[in-house]
Structure 1
Amino acid sequence: MVQEAFINGVSTLKNGAPRSKLRDSNPSFAGQGSEITKDLNEQVEWFRTRPLEKEYPVIWVDALYEKVRCERHVISMAVAVVQGLTSEGNREILEVESLIA
Structure 2
Amino acid sequence: MEEKSRKLLILYATQTGNAMDAAERIGREAERRGCPVHLRPTDQFDHSFLPLETTVIFVVSTTGQGDTPDSMKAFWKFLLQKNLAKHWLEGVCYAVFGLVCGKKA
TM superposition score category, shorter chain reference? under 0.3
- Structure with the higher fraction of residues in strand conformation: 1
TM-score, L = length of structure 1: 0.24
TM-score, L = length of structure 2: 0.23
Larger Rg: 1
